[in-house]
Structure 1
C-alpha cells in the first residue's frame, strides 16, 4: 500500500541517518572558515585602557619631579653662564671704547704731523744743511731734526700698536656678543623645557584628586558647608588646588552671608583675587587669572566645577563655552579683578 503523500514529502525533506554526520561536519567547517574570514576583515574589539592607580601616579610623579629638578639645575647653570657672557661682553666693549679713544688721539696727532710736513712748517735736513751759518747752530738744528724724526717714528709705531689693539678689541667684542646671544637662546630653551615639565608634574598632581560626592552617573551628591571657611568639601578641594598651583597673592574670598542668589552663601563659590581695592590687575595678574580659568575648565567635570566667571564672561560646564555677561557697573562686579569658581 503506498504511503500517504504528506508522509512521503516528510521523509524526502529529512536527511537520512547516514547523511546527518556528514552535514554536521560540513556545518562546523563552514563556521570555522566564516569565523576566520570575519576575524581577518573586522577590527579587533577595542579594550579601554585601565585607569592608573594612585600608586602608579605617585611613582610617575616622583620620576617627573626628579627630572624637573635636573632641568631646573641646568637652567640655573645656564643663567650663570649667561651672566658670565654678559660680563665678558661688557668688558670687551669697554676695552674697545678705550682703544678707540687712543686710536682717535693718535690719528689726530699723525694728521697734524702730515699737515706740518706738507706745508713746510716743520724743518727738514736738506733745508738745514743748505742754510749755512754757525757750525754749532747747524749741529743743534741737526739734533732737532733727528729728535723730530725719532718722535715721528715713535708715533707711527705707537699708532700701529693702538690700531692692532683696537682691532683685537673689536674682534673680541664681536665674539662675546655672539656668545651672549647663544647662551641667551640656550637659557630660554632650558627655561621653557623646565616650565613644561613642571606643568606636567602639576597636571599629574591634579589627577590624584577627585571631587567628593561624585555619583556613578556623573552627578554630584549635595553637600553642606563645613569648617571655619563655611564652604563645602568640594569647594575646599578646588580652593586648595588653585592656591597650591597659582599662589593667588591677593587672597581668596569664599563664604559670605549676603543672599544674592549665588553660591557664596551656600559655601559653593570662591573668588580668586588679582588686585586690591577694586583696581584693575596688572598684565601679569591678568595672565594668572587666565591660567586659573583655563585650569578650572580643564578640570571641571572631574572636580565638580559648575561654572566660571571672569572678565565679564561666564563659562558653564553644560555648554562648554564662554558667553558675554551684561555690564554690572564696576571692575569687581564685572569680575575683571578675579575669576569666580562655583561648584555643584
Structure 2
C-alpha cells in the first residue's frame, strides 16, 4: 500500500471521528460498571491533530525524496549510456591499434637509416621513405586519437560510478524517510484505535455482557465495530464472512464472529496475505480489552482473552477448517 493512499485514508478517518465516536464514548461511559476511557476523546483528538501535522511534513519530505530519486535515476541512466558508447569506441580503437602494432612487427621494417645504407636504387629508397613517413604520421595521429578516446572513456566511467553512488544514496535516504513516515502513520492509527471502545456493558471481571444481533448483517454492535475497524485498517480484499445460520456451537450464528479471508476457494494464501492475517491477529490481541474481543483463531492456533496466550488446535482436515486462509475473531 502506498504511503500517500494510506495517509489520505487516515485523514478521512480523523475528519470523520466526531459524532459517531463521541456517541459511542458517551454511551459507554454512561453505562453501569464502565469506566471513562483514558485518555479522553478530547485529549486523543488533540494528540491526533499534532500527529497529523507532523505526518503531513514527513509525507512532503518523502515525495521530495522521490523526486530526487527520479532525477538521480535519469542521470545514472544517461551516464551508463555515455559509458556504453565510449566503451564501444575505446574497444574499436584498441583493436585497430593492436592490429597496427602486429602489422609493423610482421613487416620487419628496419628503419630509415638501414634503408639509406643499403644497395637499393636511390629513387626507390626515397619513395619508400616517403611512404614510411606517411605511415608514421598516420600512426601518430592514430595514437593521439586513441589517447583522446581513452580519456573520454575514463571520464564516462568516472561519471557513471559517481551517478551510481548518488543514486544509491538517494534510494537509501528515500527508504529512511518512507519508514519514518510509515511509523508516524502507525502512531496515528493507534491513536484512532483508542478513540473507539466496544459498545455495551463490561463486567468487573473484564468480560462483557452479551449483545443481541441486529441489522441486515445479523451481527452485534460490538462485532460490527470490530469488523469496521479491521476493514478500514487492513483492507481485507478477499471478503469478510460473519453471520451463518448453521448451528455449529460457535459464535457465527449468534452474530458474534467474523472470518477475515486472505484467499478464495480454500487456496493457501500468499506470503503477503499470511502477513496481513498476522497483523490482524496482533491488532485484535492488542485491542481485545477495549473492544470486547473474546478469542482469535488463526493458522490452527487459538488465542483466548481469558489466558492471554496462543495454543495449538487439533487438525480439522483442511486449509479453511484449520483457519490457514483467514483469522477468525469472536467477541463477547
Write the mapping of 1:182-331 to structure 2, written as runs, cut at 5 A: 182-215=169-202, 217=204, 218-331=206-319
**Preserved CA contact (<8 Å) 1:116 1:122:** no
Kindly report the root-mean-square deviation, in angstroms, between the aligned alpha carbons of the 2 structures.
1.9
* 1:106 aligned partner: 93
1:124 Cα deviation (Å)? 4.6
Question: Unaligned regions of 5+ residues in structure 2, if any?
Answer: 1-36
Pick which of 79-88 and 313-322 moved more. 79-88
Provide the residue aligned with 2:156 in structure 1: 169
2:294 is paired with a residue whose SS is: strand
> Which deviations, in whole Å up to 9, do the C-alpha atoms of 1:45-84 show, x marking residues without a partner?
xxxxx93221221121122122212212222222222232
Contact 1:123 1:145 in 2 (8 A): no
Identify the range of structure 1 (285-294 vs 206-215) with the bigger mean alpha-carbon deviation. Answer: 206-215
Q: 1:332 aligns with which of 316, 320, 326?
A: 320
**SS at 2:329's partner residue?**
strand
Q: In the TM superposition, what is the alpha-carbon distance from 1:319 to its structure 2 partner? A: 0.4
Q: 2-side partners of 1:126 and 1:194: how far apart? A: 80
Q: 1:73 matched to which residue of 2?
A: 60
Structure 2 Cα separation of the partners of residues 123 and 80 of structure 1 = 64
Counting matched residue pairs gives 294
- The answer to whether the Cα contact below 8 Å between 1:96 and 1:170 also exists between their aligned partners in 2 is yes
C-alpha contact (below 8 Å) 2:242/2:259 kept by paired residues: yes
Distance in 1, Cα, partners of 2:39 & 2:200:
21
Question: What SS does the corresponding residue of 1:153 show, helix, strand or coil?
Answer: helix
Shift of 1:263: 0.2
**1:131 Cα deviation after fit:** 6.0
Whether contact under 8 Å (1:210, 1:302) holds in the other structure is yes
How big is each residue's C-alpha offset from its partner over 1:202-224, in whole Å with a ceiling of 9 and x where there is no partner? 00000000101133623322211
Tell me the alpha carbon deviations over residues 20-52 of structure 1, each in whole angstroms, 9 at most, x when there is no partner. Answer: xxxxxxxxxxxxxxxxxxxxxxxxxxxxxx932
Deviation at 1:147, TM superposition (A): 2.1
- Displacement of 1:228 in angstroms is 1.0
Q: Given the two structures, how large is their TM-score scaled by the length of structure 2?
A: 0.83
What are structure 1's unaligned runs of at least 5 residues? Answer: 1-49
> Shift of residue 314 of structure 1?
0.3
Give, in whole Å, the separation in 2 of the partners of 1:51 and 1:311: 34
Deviation at 1:118, TM superposition (A): 2.9
Aligned to 1:239, the other structure's residue is in SS state helix
Q: Normalised by the size of structure 1, how large is the TM-score?
A: 0.80
